[in-house]
Chain A
Amino acid sequence: MKYLAEFRNGEIAQRLAAEIRRMTTRRWAIMEVCGGQTHAIIRNGIDQLLPPEIELIHGPGCPVCVTPLEVIDKALAIAARPDVIFCSFGDMLRVPGSRHDLFRVKSEGGDVRVVYSPLDAVAIARDNPHKQVVFFGIGFETTAPANAMAVVVAKRQGLKNFSMLVSHVLVPPAIEAIMNSPSNRVQAFLAAGHVCSVMGYWQYPPLAEKYRAPIVVTGFEPLDILEGIRRAVRQLEAGAAYVENAYPRAVTFEGNQPAQRMLAEVFEPTDRAWRGIGVIPNSGWRLRDAYRAFDAEARFDVADIRAQEPPICRSGDVLQGKIKPIECPAFGNPCTPRTPLGATMVSSEGACAAYYNYGRFARAG
């Protein structure tokens, strides 16, 4: 807490916001890549401190939201098996697959457990030798090193009853896909600080240069986000486009090298589907051959499960900044966090869910 209070100071926030207002001369569209940043923006009311010219576009960086429907369906199929203990981070339990969610599987007798670390799942496997223990390995580069570590530990311990349903996604290919879109309006990015704390930001200078877009590595506290926006606006107003690190207390250019080595040891790049977006080449990780024995998809023969996502909501328009969540006709009714129609309403990190939970009445009122 002593390291956080100083990044939640209201007076400094007001000063930063005033500076952003002073330097802004025209409209700018800035995307915060990470769902955690979206959450912090709405939870703290940061957008209300900004001048109307600054438009924040909420990126697809929510690991829970972007996990594809068919991966959820595979998880549900595995979790429902009587021989399986299915371990997941908490917020995945409420994400609907084609027909239901992990809470429902649990209520029907599935052994579904919330864990706080993939190593907890490895421990459960060790303690339950007669059960198959499966960990739901989702997330961006932030969660991947711990998941890689869990696989390495399971292999070292010779566990035959541990496996992982892997659906990791990567940030840089997503930024590239967004910038290549013909309808793109994003002019600058707040890069996800936690991702960069692992991966560094050496991948970003070519992107900033290629797309002439400032990229500011940004943390998750209110002052971090305001400072990230301030630097992005400063570059935009100056016609500059380079990478800045506004989160130096956690991020270095090179990142966490042992973690990167661990990732390279266990995972290899693969094409990955993003929920509601479709396949982005080389945007995900899968287990390398040396660790393929820990692949839950192969072990439980669910590779053939397919799911269709009918185009019935406007979360695509939300993601490219064409509309705000509240402008979607489905927002709030029938689309709610309880009955989500779109990826962006599915988890609390999603832009629509964040608006629904925190911003709805503030904006209406």
Chain B
Amino acid sequence: MSLDFATWSCPLPLRDYPNIVIGHGGGGKLTAELIQHLFAPAFDDEALRPPGDAAILSFDGARLAVSTDSFVVRPLFFPGGSIGELAVNGTVNDLAMMGARPLYLTAGFIVEEGLPLAQLGAIVARMAAAARAVGARVVAGDTEVVDKGHGDGVFINTTGIGLIPDGVRIGPDRARPGDCVLVNGSIGDHGMAIMSVREGLEFEATITSDTAPLCDLVAAMLAAAPDAIHTLRDPTRGGLAAALNEIAAASRVGIQIDERALPVNPAVQAACDLLGMDPLYVANEGKLVAFVAPEAAEAILARMRAHPLGRQAAMIGQVVEQPAGVVAARTAIGGTRVIPMPLGEQLPRIC
């Protein structure tokens, strides 16, 4: 048998999806395209145009940050948290990434017929505690019930309103060449915690979600150097890789990170190795990436490390001029690789 390379032939291109597929919610390219081509043109508004996790609205001289987020997590309770904490912390963090202090929240519940009231009660109690912990008031809500089989127990939507302090100018399009890139701790914990319980995967060590409100940490960082923080992002769906790519694109800069400096919990790394996944693409719920002026980086880092949510804070890279829009990593063995924007969900590999 000889292999005739001359006749090597290829499959047809994949058509674009005419229907929503699961990857449209993955926080990668498919999500971005959905927003860019479907939602943004329909709802066209100047407040929607700047990239960012929250809209900035000026009102009577004050600047308000407004953000909304929906939470659809299975299972409803997982190591380190529940959908309740996520629903509060996720929205609080979107506000915090604009430097805003959370003031008000709304909560919408889409509940599936059959959900035990005790479970809903426990979830709501955790939401209330999470809101109180950051000094935010839940001031409006809504409840809908859907037929059994039409939801995963409960879906929660929260909207948050926060106040941006005077002088704070933070946005995903404000990263500048020379900026230092900081993270407040290990990446990938939330995504792997969820995956381990959802898929029944047993790892040697229990992996715990990192869900946490970041507004207090952000306030501490701002106190250290209010003008030096250019960009903040909480790398949720799509992980740190998606967040860095969004910032590189929005700021029209290149980002170079050093994989050796990246904090990764050994249990998360081991689980990722097992499944052929990359922790850079795994979701976080209590982490932020900060782009700060180089002269203030050490001071901000010190302040982060003094905070309970920043003990493992690390400087992981810096912003460069070229190639603009590209995120690259120095690998552990001294090579270089590109960290591309994910398409949709990261999938476990076969081998």
Contacts and interface: CB of A to CB of B under 8 A. Distances in A.
Interface string B201-229: 10000000000000000000000000000
A227 B286 CA distance: 39
Contact of B348 (A10, A42, A63, A116): A116
Q: How large is the interface on A (under 10, 10 to 19, 20 to 34, 35 or more residues)?
A: 35 or more
A239 interface: no
A338 B7 CA distance: 24
A63 B15 contact: no
Given A311-B10, A338-B343, A180 B335 contact: no
A309 B29 CA distance: 27
B244 to A, nearest CB: 14
A315 interface: yes
A142 interface: yes
A312 B17 CA distance: 22
Contacts of B9: 276, 309-312, 316
A310 B12 contact: yes
Interface stretch (B102-110, B126-134, B165-173, B324-332): B324-332
A222 B337 CA distance: 14
Contact of B10 (A222, A310, A358): A310
Interface-central residue, B3, B23, B273, by most chain A CB under 10 Å: B3
B1 A173 contact: yes
A260 B331 CA distance: 37
A35 B351 contact: yes
Pick the most buried of B4, B12, B260, B267: most chain A CB atoms within 10 A of its CB.
B12
B6 to A, nearest CB: 7
A313 B11 CA distance: 9
Interface in B1-44: 1-15, 17, 19-23, 29
B8 A315 contact: yes
Given A45-B335, A362-B338, A342 B10 contact: yes
28 contacts: A35-B351, A36-B276, A42-B337, A43-B331, A44-B331, A44-B332, A45-B334, A46-B333, A48-B336, A91-B347, A106-B21, A107-B21, A139-B351, A142-B351, A143-B350, A177-B1, A183-B5, A310-B10, A311-B8, A312-B9, A312-B10, A335-B13, A338-B343, A357-B338, A358-B337, A360-B338, A361-B326, A365-B326
Interface of B: 1-15, 17, 19-23, 29, 199, 201, 260, 266-267, 269-270, 273, 275-276, 278, 322-323, 326, 328, 331-338, 340, 343-344, 347-351
